[in-house]
A and B are shown apart, each in its own frame.
Chain A
Amino acid sequence: MRGVTEPVRVVDIRAFVCPMTWVRVKLGLEAIREGEILEVWMRGEEPLRNVPRSAKGEGHVVLLCEPAGEDHRLLIRKGS
């Protein structure tokens, strides 16, 4: 069922640097409903370190963080 097991929105932050990386992800999370999944594409050490931590800190669930070539793919389920 779309929205429960699949991402309903994709945010690509590979061209951004801190703090715009988390700003873009946060806006992406605001645009979906609780329980839905956001897919994030990121590049470099900074977002890999900070974006999952910020997502958890705001009550979301990081479902997956996997390498994809030189990038990383992150799946976040929106919390309450």
Chain B
Amino acid sequence: MLDDLRIERYARHILLREVGGVGQDRILSSKVEIRGLGEAGCWATTYLALAGVGRLRLCDPRPIPAGGLGPLLLAAAEGEPRDRAAAKAIGGLNLDVVVEVGGGAASAPGAWTADGRGESVRIRVAPSAPTSDPSATGAYFVATRDGRAVGGWEGGRVCEACLEAALGSAPSGPSAAALAGSTAASEVLAAILQEAPRPRGLRIHRLGEPLPVGPCPHGDAA
């Protein structure tokens, strides 16, 4: 799969001890579904496309807001469905990536609060082989609101109370969503490369350093 063109394209990844040619092959063979294309979702999608994830499924038909979103959805595309516009944009980033739009799980992507101030992203890596291990299909979850972001690997339903508490104590800043999106992409790529279950639980992102949130005290899975 790594022909001369791809060796040239991914040379900087191949140089990394954690990736190499074998790892880049694995990334090119991987399939990832992204539900929710808010700012964090756009950053995560951009990094995963540039990394060479072979198949991306994007799910978020909401219209692009005025001013665009993140690095992927430009202001000129205002009003277009986010997933379709993102698919077009990815074609200009990396020709190796096959993008599918829509479908996937039944739950609505994107907004997670009724007032529309909150955004969520769920990124799921398809297992490389059929498996009955539920951890193999775990999703990385990011929630952002009012300039704050939290994220982590889901072990089940995310506890709303824990989410509120984590968001309330997360540092705020204009780059929180971008940082959460890039962290999500890093976590997903690590999962692809290691093919291992990831640690579960929401984490607050502070300048790239994940801070674990304690066990859920509300009797709910987090």
Contact = CB atoms under 8 A, between A and B. Distances in A.
B119 to A, nearest CB: 38
A20 B12 CA distance: 9
Interface residues of A, number: 9
A27 B7 contact: yes
B6 to A, nearest CB: 11
Contacts of B17: 58
Interface string B6-49: 01100110110100111000000000000000000000000000
Contacts of B2: 27
A72 interface: no
Contacts of A23: 7, 11, 14-15
A22 B15 contact: yes
| B interface bracket (residues with beta carbon within 8 Å of A) | 10 to 19
A20 B8 contact: yes
A30 interface: yes
Nearest to A54: B15
Contacts of B8: 20
B1 to A, nearest CB: 12
Nearest to A57: B17
A44 interface: no
A24 B2 CA distance: 11
A73 interface: no
A24 B7 CA distance: 8
Contacts of A30: 20-22
A8 to B, nearest CB: 17
